[in-house]
Amino acid sequence: MMMATERRTDGGGTIGLVAAIGSVAAVGLGFSITLPLLALTLEDRGISSTWIGINTATWGLAAIAVTPFVSKLAARTGTAQLLALAILVLAATLPLFYLSPFWVWFLLRLVAGAAVTTTFVLSEFWISSAAPPARRGIIMGIYASVLSGGFALGPVILSITGTQGLFPFVLGSCVLALGIIPVLCGLKVAPKLDRREKHSFSRFLFLAPAATGAALLFGTIETGAFSLLPIYGQRVGHTRDLVILLGIGVTVGNILLQMPMGMLSDRMDRRKLLMIIAAFGLLGAAILPLVAASFWPLMIALAIWGGVIGSLYTVGLAHLGSRFTGSDLAAANGAFVFCYSLGGLLGPATLGIAMDVWNPHGFAIGIGLFFAAYLAMLVIRMGLARLPKGVSKGVSKKVS
């Protein structure tokens, strides 16, 4: 998620990069423990997958609400200071889930969702500020790989600690709290934010639909998959010890394929690449039910599928950067963040409902419908782009 603000400092160069990437690595690891742990805990308490999805979607609601205010708060408190505070709030919230009744979980999700959104927005802004322009793609690739590595380790830790009792909640809280250490080390070199806002991001929501649509789709699939994939695994017959490992398949593929897909996006039309990724995502969703009952074929399918669709975020941002510059790019990045957060709100709720409607493969069906909708939008958009200007404008007006 890119920060829609002006930069005043370079973010501290290498020191800043280590601080920002180190902090978000700890948060990513803690978050990868949190999402499946919360879903499985609610399943144990007899909560339906529909309500699990709705509760998980509260993350997205909090993200949408807090994103417009992060830059203002950081300008007043300091980037590193607000980042450290957000990490501590997130860490303090996690054990409270275990100790609270279900209705309180909605309030806790709001608080934790606001905290984790603030964490990712500020850390990614810091990384973007500190990265040399000529190496920004490589740096973002390293960041994505480190973050994916954290997401892969979370399920491994849960397989060792188990998902019962208070201990995994406390462990996840401790892992999250470790994220403040690199932040404090880079306190003096953290970038400062300008309080001025050049443009409202709302008008950019539809100016680059290939990019903002990719953010919406990625937010939908990422949040929905990490929260509901363990439940899908249980419904197709896998044991509790195995289903918490399914997320590893997705993240390992993401680690291995993120940088190659980024390099490919520099060599071809990014809209066409996004179309290929969407088509592959749709194909993967169709294949999942065929291999779901066998653990290792499912893991391999998730690794390949997850690695390719994980590039939606990177390629979408790259396409956005090719369309806009300066303050327009900052505002467009704000729209990108909003769409990603909206996906986090829609994904778990709709996939949870799909899993109740089409048991046990509603998870794959719901994901397939999302990819089909995005693919159809790209086909229509690119088809309009090929028409003469006068014709395409007339068609666009009729469509709108």
| DSSP symbol at 131 | S
Residues 6+ apart with CB under 8 A from 60: 113, 219, 223, 341, 342, 343, 344, 345, 346, 347, 348
CA 71/CA 244 separation, integer angstroms: 36
E runs forming strands in the chain: none
Crossing angle of helices 295-309/246-265, nearest 10°? 30
Tens digit of each residue's pLDDT (9 = 90 or more) over 142-186: 777 787 777 777 777 887 887 788 888 888 888 888 888 988 888
Distance of CA 258 to the CA centre of its chain: 14
| DSSP symbol at 204 | G
Tens digit of each residue's pLDDT (9 = 90 or more) over 46-84: 888 778 878 877 877 887 888 777 777 877 888 889 999
CA 24/CA 120 separation, integer angstroms: 7
Highest mean pLDDT among 23-32, 227-236, 284-293: 284-293
52's tokens: 């699990």
When pLDDT is cut at 50, 70 and 90, the band that residue 374 belongs to is: very high
Alpha helices in 236-325 (DSSP H): 240-243, 246-265, 270-291, 295-309, 311-323
The pLDDT assigned to 88 comes to: 92
Q: Are the C-beta atoms of residues 259 and 145 closer than 8 Å to each other?
A: yes
Residue with tokens 């990614």: 124
**CA 316 to each of CA 122, 221, 327: distance values in angstroms, whole numbers, following the listed order:** 19, 15, 18
